[in-house]
A and B are shown apart, each in its own frame.
Chain A
Amino acid sequence: MEKRNHKAWLYLAPALVFLGLFLVYPLIDVFIFSLEEGYNFASQTSFGTGLYNFSYVLHDPYFLQALKNTFILVLITVPVSTGLALLISVGLASIKKLRNLFQTIYFLPYVTNTLAVGLVFMILFQKTPYSDGFVNLILGFFGVAPIDFIGGPYWAKMLVLCLYTIWVVMPFKVLVLTSALASVKQDYYNAAMVDGTPKWRVFTKITVPMISPTLFYLIITGFIGAFKAYSDAVALFGTNLNAAEMNTIVGYVYDMLYGASGGYPSYASAAAVILFAIVLTITCINLIVSRKHVHYS
């Protein structure tokens, strides 16, 4: 017995070393960092403990801009992508022909490099002196004057960011919803058919309640993912997101840590802790709401 105990720890050792060094220790350290005032990277000293870092971050116009951008992004992309994914999955579930082909195509954005494909979105939307770009060409058919979506007005940049984010997150949602729909028992639909229940009623009274745990899971992961948005914005607007007014909370953390504006791990930590607090709060609210509305069989 004794010998076996030792052996178990031997098998666990690599995982525990990695988790301890790169996950548990940093987790504790980030809270300490966020409370150390005037931390100096070079000498690794600080002059005191307190909430100054949080106060600095919360008064920094760049952070407030990032906060605003992130909230707009979350409030638009989560409902739109979840709704659209539901629509497409229900469509997919109702057909037999070409279903595999559609599923394969819809999944493609998941396996592509966010940074690389973002550049394609950039050139599709960009207006340069040489060309108005493809999207403006299409808008032109409807009599809309060319808009610079990449370097132009705030709402236009936000629109592209939302569209690209939705394009990126759809594969996961469609895939998960399609498998949830496939697992709803056919008996319920048969019973509804015998009763002559209208289709819309079948959808709201059978389909949605049956897949509500999955929908709810997607909404939570959607919120968490959208709050952590960053690479999508870099792909579209470049690494200097503050200049483009398109920074996100995560982007702010990295800018504080690294690059031309970097070297402030304390501010970065404070911003990361604030992000964590926001995500945790939203997740808790979601959990409370779900108690009332989600049907667990």
Chain B
Amino acid sequence: MNKKPNRLGHTAGKTVTYALLILWGLLVLFPFYWMVLTSLKSYSAYNGEYIPKLFTLSPTLENYATAFTAVPLLDYFVNTVIFTLVTTGLMLIVTVLAAFAFSRLQFPGKDLLFTVVLALMMIPSELVVITNYVTVTDWDLRNTFAGLILPSVTSVFYIYLLRENFSQIPDELYYAAKVDGTSDFKYLWKVMVPICRPTIVTITILKVIECWNSYVWPRLVADEADYFLVSVGIQELRENGFGRENIPGMMAAVVAICVPLIVLFLIFRKKIMAGVARGGTKG
């Protein structure tokens, strides 16, 4: 009897839902649109617009040329790539080895040690950054890659995540390998790592995102432009570089900084979202 009004209400509900979702989508996308748009406006065109225009009819790439020539933006990129690759690589080695010991090997005090390591997850980085800064200064590692990288390597959470995954591999495989005379290391490398590849890929990507966007530690440790990462570089450019007056140039630099991770995200979309849902924190 009341089927018709119900369907009408249903359609109205759907419309409201879609309107809401589209509105939020626009709010998310608009800053991206604005940065690309601004980066394509010429310096004089941008400064001539008292009322900002929502589009441009004469896009130009000159801002990108400015961004990469007026400041050593390319060097910041190279630094960030080195920092990201080395930190992530070391993190993988440390994490895989530790997760293997915690999941597969037997030694006295294992459970206690694992509990202590898990408890370390709760320590906010703000609490340890002060002493780390003093340590790195004492070791004369300020303005070096070692100083940037070493304190950023370990992530307790990734050890935990990988250990859980390693533990799911049936014991029979291990004993069979032992009978065949396979060494522990070979078993880890040839059997466990390939089986757990999805988890390893996930933690790799999460670490890459974290490294690419890190700001606080790189800013503390490096005050010479030779060791700036992109986050520090863009902030410096904004306060002391051409960013103060050349907004389109600054936006070109911003676009350049954002593109690598967005491309990575679009390629590994499913893996990244699944990984973050399992263990990301940012919020």
Contact = CB atoms under 8 A, between A and B. Distances in A.
A110 B235 contact: no
B145 interface: no
Contact of A130 (B47, B101, B209): B47
B29 A179 contact: no
A175 interface: yes
Contacts of B127: 26-27, 30, 272-273, 275-276
Interface stretch (B55-63, B128-136, B169-177, B196-204): B128-136
Interface in A215-232: 218, 221-222, 224-225, 228, 230-231
Contacts of B273: 103, 107, 175
B130 A218 contact: no
Contact of B128 (A30, A94, A107): A30
A11 B97 contact: yes
B156 interface: yes
Interface string B29-48: 10110110010000000010
B131 A110 contact: no
Nearest to A273: B127
B258 A22 contact: no
B254 A120 contact: yes
Contacts of A257: 129-130, 133, 220
Given A25-B131, A95-B14, A169 B34 contact: no
A104 B21 contact: no
A80 interface: no
Contacts of A169: 282-283
Q: Say whether chain B's binding surface is mostly helix, strand, loop, or mixed.
A: helix
Contact of B94 (A18, A124, A170, A269): A18
Given A115-B235, A176-B277, A88 B282 contact: no
B191 interface: no
Interface in A244-276: 250, 253-254, 257-258, 265, 268-269, 272-273, 275-276
B148 interface: no
B262 A111 contact: yes
B220 to A, nearest CB: 5
Contact of A131 (B18, B34, B50, B134): B50
Contacts of A276: 124, 126-127
Given A7-B105, A113-B257, A228-B126, A15 B159 contact: yes
A77 B108 CA distance: 46
A179 B219 CA distance: 36
A246 to B, nearest CB: 15
B8 interface: no
Interface of A: 4-5, 7-9, 11-12, 14-16, 18-19, 21-27, 29-30, 33, 41, 81, 84, 87-88, 91-92, 94-95, 98, 102-117, 119-121, 123-124, 130-134, 137, 167-173, 175-176, 179, 218, 221-222, 224-225, 228, 230-231, 234-235, 238-239, 250, 253-254, 257-258, 265, 268-269, 272-273, 275-276, 279
27 contacts: A5-B108, A11-B105, A15-B98, A16-B98, A18-B153, A22-B151, A22-B154, A23-B154, A25-B131, A26-B128, A94-B14, A95-B18, A105-B25, A110-B282, A113-B230, A115-B231, A116-B258, A117-B258, A131-B50, A131-B51, A132-B51, A224-B124, A231-B215, A253-B126, A258-B133, A272-B127, A272-B129
